[in-house]
Amino acid sequence: MPELPDLTVYLEQLERRIVGQAVDDIRLASPFLLRTVTPSVADVQGKRVVSCSRIAKQLVIGLEDDLYMVLHLMISGRLQWRKAGAKVPARLGLAAFDFASGTLIFTEASKKKRASLRLVQGVEALQALNPGGLEVLGLSLPEFSAQLHASNHTLKRALTDQHVFAGIGNAYSDEILLRAGLSPFKRASVLKDDDVASLHAACISVLTEWTERLRAEAGDEFPKKVTAFHEAMAVHGKYRQPCPQCGKPVQRIAYAENESNYCAQCQTGGRMLADRSLSRLLKDNWPKRIEDLE
Ligand SMILES: [Zn+2]
Protein backbone atom coordinates (compact mmCIF):
# COMPACT_ATOMS: atom_id res chain seq x y z
CA MET A 1 0.00 0.00 0.00
CA PRO A 2 1.84 3.05 -1.22
CA GLU A 3 2.02 5.74 1.47
CA LEU A 4 3.23 9.35 1.59
CA PRO A 5 6.90 8.72 0.70
CA ASP A 6 6.08 6.41 -2.23
CA LEU A 7 3.26 8.65 -3.44
CA THR A 8 5.44 11.76 -3.25
CA VAL A 9 8.05 10.18 -5.51
CA TYR A 10 5.37 8.97 -7.93
CA LEU A 11 4.04 12.54 -8.08
CA GLU A 12 7.44 14.10 -8.65
CA GLN A 13 8.19 11.74 -11.50
CA LEU A 14 4.73 12.21 -12.99
CA GLU A 15 4.94 15.97 -12.77
CA ARG A 16 8.14 16.03 -14.85
CA ARG A 17 6.54 13.91 -17.53
CA ILE A 18 2.93 15.05 -17.90
CA VAL A 19 2.43 18.65 -16.76
CA GLY A 20 1.65 20.67 -19.89
CA GLN A 21 0.81 17.53 -21.84
CA ALA A 22 -2.68 16.72 -23.12
CA VAL A 23 -4.46 13.51 -22.14
CA ASP A 24 -4.72 11.98 -25.59
CA ASP A 25 -6.69 8.97 -24.40
CA ILE A 26 -7.64 6.87 -21.40
CA ARG A 27 -7.84 3.17 -22.18
CA LEU A 28 -9.81 1.32 -19.50
CA ALA A 29 -8.97 -2.38 -19.27
CA SER A 30 -10.95 -3.15 -16.13
CA PRO A 31 -14.70 -2.51 -15.94
CA PHE A 32 -14.40 -1.93 -12.17
CA LEU A 33 -11.82 0.83 -12.21
CA LEU A 34 -13.84 3.94 -13.08
CA ARG A 35 -16.16 4.78 -10.16
CA THR A 36 -17.73 7.94 -11.52
CA VAL A 37 -20.15 8.63 -14.39
CA THR A 38 -19.70 12.32 -15.13
CA PRO A 39 -17.51 13.83 -16.38
CA SER A 40 -16.86 11.06 -18.87
CA VAL A 41 -13.58 9.82 -20.34
CA ALA A 42 -14.45 11.76 -23.49
CA ASP A 43 -14.76 14.94 -21.41
CA VAL A 44 -11.14 14.74 -20.24
CA GLN A 45 -9.65 13.72 -23.58
CA GLY A 46 -7.54 16.46 -25.08
CA LYS A 47 -7.33 18.40 -21.80
CA ARG A 48 -3.90 19.50 -20.60
CA VAL A 49 -2.41 18.55 -17.26
CA VAL A 50 -1.91 21.56 -15.01
CA SER A 51 -0.96 19.94 -11.69
CA CYS A 52 -0.05 16.74 -9.88
CA SER A 53 -0.96 16.55 -6.20
CA ARG A 54 -2.17 14.25 -3.45
CA ILE A 55 -5.23 14.07 -1.22
CA ALA A 56 -4.63 11.61 1.62
CA LYS A 57 -3.46 8.53 -0.30
CA GLN A 58 -5.05 9.52 -3.60
CA LEU A 59 -3.06 10.91 -6.51
CA VAL A 60 -4.72 13.86 -8.19
CA ILE A 61 -3.93 14.84 -11.77
CA GLY A 62 -5.41 18.29 -12.34
CA LEU A 63 -6.49 19.22 -15.87
CA GLU A 64 -7.74 22.30 -17.67
CA ASP A 65 -11.38 23.30 -17.12
CA ASP A 66 -11.20 22.34 -13.43
CA LEU A 67 -11.20 18.64 -14.26
CA TYR A 68 -9.41 16.09 -12.06
CA MET A 69 -8.38 12.47 -12.48
CA VAL A 70 -8.14 10.91 -9.01
CA LEU A 71 -6.24 7.63 -8.73
CA HIS A 72 -6.48 5.57 -5.55
CA LEU A 73 -3.90 2.77 -5.58
CA MET A 74 -5.26 1.13 -2.41
CA ILE A 75 -3.07 -1.87 -1.52
CA SER A 76 -1.81 -3.40 -4.73
CA GLY A 77 -2.20 -0.60 -7.23
CA ARG A 78 1.00 0.58 -8.93
CA LEU A 79 2.01 2.91 -11.74
CA GLN A 80 4.42 2.40 -14.60
CA TRP A 81 5.73 4.81 -17.16
CA ARG A 82 6.06 3.34 -20.67
CA LYS A 83 6.65 4.59 -24.16
CA ALA A 84 3.68 6.26 -25.82
CA GLY A 85 0.97 3.81 -26.85
CA ALA A 86 2.26 0.91 -24.72
CA LYS A 87 -0.13 -2.00 -24.26
CA VAL A 88 -2.02 -2.43 -21.01
CA PRO A 89 -0.54 -5.58 -19.38
CA ALA A 90 -2.99 -8.47 -19.81
CA ARG A 91 -3.52 -9.76 -16.28
CA LEU A 92 -2.70 -6.87 -13.95
CA GLY A 93 -3.52 -3.93 -16.18
CA LEU A 94 -6.33 -1.60 -15.15
CA ALA A 95 -5.86 1.34 -17.51
CA ALA A 96 -3.50 3.35 -19.66
CA PHE A 97 -3.33 7.14 -19.79
CA ASP A 98 -1.82 8.27 -23.06
CA PHE A 99 0.28 11.40 -23.43
CA ALA A 100 2.58 12.44 -26.27
CA SER A 101 5.53 12.01 -23.86
CA GLY A 102 4.59 8.45 -22.90
CA THR A 103 1.90 6.25 -21.39
CA LEU A 104 1.05 5.94 -17.73
CA ILE A 105 0.00 2.38 -16.94
CA PHE A 106 -2.13 1.64 -13.86
CA THR A 107 -1.86 -1.95 -12.59
CA GLU A 108 -3.16 -3.91 -9.61
CA ALA A 109 -1.49 -7.13 -8.49
CA SER A 110 -4.53 -8.58 -6.77
CA LYS A 111 -7.72 -10.42 -7.66
CA LYS A 112 -9.62 -8.05 -5.41
CA LYS A 113 -10.09 -4.97 -7.49
CA ARG A 114 -9.88 -2.21 -4.92
CA ALA A 115 -7.92 0.41 -6.83
CA SER A 116 -10.04 3.15 -8.36
CA LEU A 117 -10.19 6.03 -10.80
CA ARG A 118 -12.54 8.94 -10.33
CA LEU A 119 -13.09 11.75 -12.81
CA VAL A 120 -14.48 14.87 -11.19
CA GLN A 121 -15.02 18.51 -12.09
CA GLY A 122 -14.73 21.43 -9.72
CA VAL A 123 -12.91 21.94 -6.46
CA GLU A 124 -15.99 21.04 -4.44
CA ALA A 125 -16.31 17.65 -6.09
CA LEU A 126 -12.60 17.11 -5.53
CA GLN A 127 -12.81 18.09 -1.86
CA ALA A 128 -15.69 15.65 -1.40
CA LEU A 129 -13.05 12.93 -1.88
CA ASN A 130 -10.93 14.30 0.97
CA PRO A 131 -11.30 12.30 4.19
CA GLY A 132 -9.97 15.37 6.01
CA GLY A 133 -6.86 14.07 7.75
CA LEU A 134 -4.10 16.62 8.32
CA GLU A 135 -0.73 16.51 6.54
CA VAL A 136 1.70 15.67 9.34
CA LEU A 137 4.69 17.28 7.63
CA GLY A 138 2.96 20.67 7.75
CA LEU A 139 1.92 20.51 11.42
CA SER A 140 3.54 22.31 14.34
CA LEU A 141 3.80 20.38 17.61
CA PRO A 142 0.74 22.13 19.15
CA GLU A 143 -1.33 21.43 16.02
CA PHE A 144 -0.21 17.81 15.96
CA SER A 145 -0.93 17.46 19.67
CA ALA A 146 -4.44 18.90 19.34
CA GLN A 147 -5.29 16.58 16.46
CA LEU A 148 -3.92 13.55 18.28
CA HIS A 149 -5.67 14.32 21.56
CA ALA A 150 -8.97 14.81 19.74
CA SER A 151 -8.76 11.22 18.53
CA ASN A 152 -10.29 8.45 20.58
CA HIS A 153 -8.16 5.90 18.77
CA THR A 154 -5.07 3.94 19.65
CA LEU A 155 -1.86 5.43 18.24
CA LYS A 156 -1.70 2.84 15.47
CA ARG A 157 -5.22 3.66 14.38
CA ALA A 158 -4.88 7.42 14.79
CA LEU A 159 -1.76 7.51 12.61
CA THR A 160 -3.32 5.41 9.87
CA ASP A 161 -6.83 6.89 9.92
CA GLN A 162 -7.06 9.20 6.90
CA HIS A 163 -9.68 11.24 8.77
CA VAL A 164 -7.06 12.10 11.40
CA PHE A 165 -3.75 12.26 9.52
CA ALA A 166 -3.11 12.00 5.78
CA GLY A 167 -0.83 9.67 3.88
CA ILE A 168 0.37 7.28 6.61
CA GLY A 169 -0.52 3.59 6.42
CA ASN A 170 0.41 0.30 8.01
CA ALA A 171 4.08 0.26 7.06
CA TYR A 172 5.22 3.75 8.01
CA SER A 173 3.10 3.80 11.18
CA ASP A 174 5.08 0.75 12.37
CA GLU A 175 8.35 2.56 11.63
CA ILE A 176 7.18 5.78 13.29
CA LEU A 177 6.01 4.06 16.47
CA LEU A 178 9.30 2.20 16.85
CA ARG A 179 11.26 5.42 16.47
CA ALA A 180 9.02 7.16 19.00
CA GLY A 181 9.37 4.18 21.35
CA LEU A 182 5.59 3.98 21.77
CA SER A 183 3.17 1.08 21.91
CA PRO A 184 0.77 0.91 18.94
CA PHE A 185 -2.04 0.43 21.45
CA LYS A 186 -1.55 3.48 23.63
CA ARG A 187 -4.57 5.75 23.58
CA ALA A 188 -4.00 8.91 21.55
CA SER A 189 -6.34 10.99 23.71
CA VAL A 190 -4.31 10.51 26.90
CA LEU A 191 -0.78 10.62 25.50
CA LYS A 192 1.59 12.69 27.66
CA ASP A 193 3.36 15.78 26.31
CA ASP A 194 6.79 14.14 26.09
CA ASP A 195 5.36 11.22 24.15
CA VAL A 196 3.41 13.52 21.83
CA ALA A 197 6.65 15.39 21.08
CA SER A 198 8.49 12.11 20.38
CA LEU A 199 5.72 10.95 18.10
CA HIS A 200 5.61 14.25 16.21
CA ALA A 201 9.39 14.18 15.71
CA ALA A 202 9.28 10.52 14.65
CA CYS A 203 6.55 11.20 12.07
CA ILE A 204 8.57 13.99 10.52
CA SER A 205 11.92 12.19 10.54
CA VAL A 206 10.60 8.85 9.29
CA LEU A 207 8.50 10.34 6.48
CA THR A 208 11.23 12.76 5.43
CA GLU A 209 14.03 10.20 5.50
CA TRP A 210 11.99 7.67 3.58
CA THR A 211 10.91 10.19 0.95
CA GLU A 212 14.57 11.11 0.45
CA ARG A 213 15.61 7.47 0.30
CA LEU A 214 12.96 6.53 -2.25
CA ARG A 215 13.67 9.67 -4.27
CA ALA A 216 17.35 8.76 -4.41
CA GLU A 217 16.54 5.16 -5.36
CA ALA A 218 14.31 6.33 -8.21
CA GLY A 219 16.80 8.89 -9.53
CA ASP A 220 15.51 10.08 -12.90
CA GLU A 221 13.46 6.95 -13.42
CA PHE A 222 9.83 6.29 -12.63
CA PRO A 223 9.81 4.23 -9.37
CA LYS A 224 9.76 0.53 -10.17
CA LYS A 225 9.94 -1.28 -6.85
CA VAL A 226 7.17 0.28 -4.80
CA THR A 227 6.58 -2.06 -1.87
CA ALA A 228 5.27 -1.94 1.69
CA PHE A 229 8.11 -4.26 2.71
CA HIS A 230 11.28 -2.39 1.93
CA GLU A 231 14.38 -4.23 3.14
CA ALA A 232 15.67 -1.11 4.91
CA MET A 233 12.63 -0.90 7.19
CA ALA A 234 13.36 -1.41 10.88
CA VAL A 235 10.33 -3.39 12.06
CA HIS A 236 7.64 -3.46 9.39
CA GLY A 237 7.71 -6.86 7.68
CA LYS A 238 10.59 -7.93 9.95
CA TYR A 239 8.85 -10.46 12.19
CA ARG A 240 11.38 -12.47 14.25
CA GLN A 241 14.30 -10.48 12.85
CA PRO A 242 16.41 -8.46 15.29
CA CYS A 243 15.23 -4.95 16.09
CA PRO A 244 17.93 -2.57 14.77
CA GLN A 245 17.70 -0.52 17.97
CA CYS A 246 18.00 -3.26 20.62
CA GLY A 247 18.59 -6.59 18.84
CA LYS A 248 15.51 -8.31 20.32
CA PRO A 249 13.23 -10.15 17.86
CA VAL A 250 10.52 -8.07 16.22
CA GLN A 251 6.97 -9.07 17.19
CA ARG A 252 3.80 -9.07 15.16
CA ILE A 253 0.09 -8.52 15.54
CA ALA A 254 -1.91 -10.24 12.83
CA TYR A 255 -5.18 -8.77 11.66
CA ALA A 256 -7.32 -8.76 8.53
CA GLU A 257 -4.97 -9.75 5.72
CA ASN A 258 -2.01 -7.98 7.12
CA GLU A 259 0.16 -7.60 10.16
CA SER A 260 1.63 -4.87 12.22
CA ASN A 261 5.11 -5.16 13.70
CA TYR A 262 6.64 -3.75 16.87
CA CYS A 263 9.53 -4.29 19.25
CA ALA A 264 8.45 -5.30 22.76
CA GLN A 265 11.74 -4.13 24.25
CA CYS A 266 11.61 -0.67 22.66
CA GLN A 267 7.87 -0.03 22.64
CA THR A 268 5.84 -1.97 25.19
CA GLY A 269 8.12 -2.28 28.20
CA GLY A 270 8.92 -5.86 27.23
CA ARG A 271 5.27 -6.95 27.16
CA MET A 272 4.01 -9.08 24.28
CA LEU A 273 0.65 -8.10 22.91
CA ALA A 274 -1.53 -11.17 22.42
CA ASP A 275 -3.70 -11.12 19.32
CA ARG A 276 -6.85 -12.37 21.05
CA SER A 277 -6.83 -10.04 24.00
CA LEU A 278 -6.13 -7.21 21.62
CA SER A 279 -9.06 -7.97 19.43
CA ARG A 280 -11.32 -7.93 22.51
CA LEU A 281 -9.85 -4.70 23.73
CA LEU A 282 -10.09 -3.05 20.36
CA LYS A 283 -13.29 -4.52 19.07
CA ASP A 284 -14.74 -1.22 17.98
CA ASN A 285 -11.50 0.48 17.19
CA TRP A 286 -9.34 -1.88 15.20
CA PRO A 287 -10.29 -2.07 11.53
CA LYS A 288 -11.84 -5.35 10.50
CA ARG A 289 -11.05 -4.92 6.84
CA ILE A 290 -7.76 -3.94 5.35
CA GLU A 291 -9.58 -1.32 3.26
CA ASP A 292 -10.31 0.53 6.48
CA LEU A 293 -6.62 1.17 6.94
CA GLU A 294 -6.51 2.91 3.58
ZN1 LIG B 1 13.96 -2.85 19.91
Q: Structure pTM?
A: 0.93
**C-alpha of residue 272 to centroid of ligand 1, in Å:** 13
**C-alpha of residue 277 to centroid of ligand 1, in Å:** 22
**C-alpha of residue 246 to centroid of ligand 1, in Å:** 4
What is the pLDDT, as a whole number, of residue 123?
97
Express each pLDDT in 243-260 by its tens digit: 999 999 999 887 766 688
Please tell me whether residues 116 and 140 are part of one structural domain.
no
What is the pLDDT, as a whole number, of residue 259?
80
If you write DSSP's letter for every residue of the chain in order, what string do you get?
A: ---HHHHHHHHHHHHHHHTT-B--EEEE--TTSB---SS-HHHHTTPBEEEEEEETTEEEEEEGGGEEEEEE-TTTEEEEEESTTPPPPTTTEEEEEEETTEEEEEEE-SSS---EEEEEESHHHHHTT----B-GGG--HHHHHHHHHT--SBHHHHHH-TTTBSS--HHHHHHHHHHHT--TTSBGGG--HHHHHHHHHHHHHHHHHHHHHHHHHHTTSPP----S--TT-SSTT-TTSBPTTT-SBPEEEEETTEEEEE-HHHHSTT----HHHHHHHTTTTS-SSGGGG-
Please tell me whether residues 79 and 161 are part of one structural domain.
no
What is the pLDDT, as a whole number, of residue 294?
53
Please tell me whether residues 231 and 116 are part of one structural domain.
no
What is the pLDDT, as a whole number, of residue 152?
86
* Residue where a domain terminates, one of 127, 159, 191: 127
Express each pLDDT in 225-238 by its tens digit: 888 889 999 999 99
CATH number of the domain where residue 41 is located: 3.20.190.10
Express each pLDDT in 106-133 by its tens digit: 999 988 889 999 999 999 999 999 999 9
Express each pLDDT in 172-194 by its tens digit: 999 999 999 999 989 999 999 99
Please tell me whether residues 33 and 88 are part of one structural domain.
yes
CATH number of the domain where residue 265 is located: 1.10.8.50
**C-alpha of residue 190 to centroid of ligand 1, in Å:** 24
Structural domain of 43: 4-127
What is the pLDDT, as a whole number, of residue 102?
98
Express each pLDDT in 5-48 by its tens digit: 999 999 999 999 999 999 999 999 998 999 999 999 999 999 99
- Average pLDDT of span 50-55: 98
pLDDT of 280 > 60? The answer is: no
* Residue where a domain terminates, one of 66, 95, 127: 127
**C-alpha of residue 235 to centroid of ligand 1, in Å:** 9
**C-alpha of residue 168 to centroid of ligand 1, in Å:** 22
pLDDT of 281 > 70? The answer is: no
What is the pLDDT, as a whole number, of residue 284?
46
Express each pLDDT in 137-181 by its tens digit: 999 999 999 999 999 888 999 999 999 999 999 999 999 999 999
**C-alpha of residue 227 to centroid of ligand 1, in Å:** 23
* Residue where a domain terminates, one of 127, 144, 176: 127
